[in-house]
């Protein structure tokens, strides 16, 4: 009986660790998903010119506590965000979070800089009427903006898969 319990628990732990890395953008930036994501590439026409973008999204089965995992990458022209322009970078990150909040008709519950990471913020958005929540991470690295978001319900917004996804961003 103990062997069967161990086998069952080890399968649950193993299945949680089967996430794979996928390239986001074109600069050796990877994020992990529990299953292969859908990929979309398009050019964004802005006042700064044409900005290449790349997104990876995954909608899990209904048994998953999250509705959607999303990674967005946008390449800006070289020197758009000089390393010493911390105020500009912080303002850009905030304005991006505010625009996402407005587009989703959600309230910004928190927005915070990450202590051990430069040019990065974490955030949480909520809509109390629909009971939906969005948790995310946004970073500017070498004139690239990367936004990771997970869509879920307020009640399920503390699940481990969210943290696994948001902390999976790596440069290789």
The token duo for 65 is 């506590």
* Nearest by Cα to 66 from 166, 157, 170: 157
Give the pLDDT of residue 17. 53
> Phi, psi at residue 76, to the nearest 5°?
-100, 160
Nearest-angstrom CA–CA distance, 32 and 72: 13
Give the pLDDT of residue 5. 35
Per-residue pLDDT of the chain (172 residues; tens, 9 = 90+): 443 334 344 444 444 458 999 999 877 899 999 999 999 999 999 888 899 999 999 999 888 999 999 999 999 999 999 988 889 999 999 999 999 999 999 999 999 998 878 899 999 999 999 999 999 999 998 899 999 999 999 999 999 999 999 999 998 8
Give the pLDDT of residue 20. 95
Give the pLDDT of residue 60. 92
- What burial letters (b/e) apply to 28-58, b meaning 16+ CB within 10 Å? ebbbbbbeebeeeeeeeeeeeeebebbbbbb
- 3-state SS, residue 77: coil
Cα 132 to chain centroid distance, Å, stands at 16
**What is the model's pTM?**
0.86
């Amino acid at each position: 009986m103990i062997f069967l319990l161990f086998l069952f628990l080890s399968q649950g732990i193993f299945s949680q660790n089967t996430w794979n890395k996928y390239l986001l953008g074109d600069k050796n930036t990877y994020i992990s998903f529990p299953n292969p994501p859908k990929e979309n590439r398009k050019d964004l026409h802005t006042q700064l010119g044409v900005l290449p973008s790349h997104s990876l999204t995954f909608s899990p089965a209904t048994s998953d506590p999250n509705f959607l995992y999303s990674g967005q990458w946008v390449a800006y022209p070289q020197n758009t965000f000089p390393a010493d322009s911390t105020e500009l970078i912080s303002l850009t990150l905030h304005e991006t979070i505010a625009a996402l909040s407005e587009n989703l008709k959600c309230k910004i519950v928190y927005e915070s800089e990450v202590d051990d990471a430069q040019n990065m913020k974490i955030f949480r958005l909520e809509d109390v009427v629909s009971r939906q929540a969005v948790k995310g991470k946004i970073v500017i690295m070498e004139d690239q903006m990367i936004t990771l978001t997970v869509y879920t319900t307020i009640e399920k917004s503390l699940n481990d898969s969210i943290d696994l996804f948001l902390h999976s961003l790596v440069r290789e």
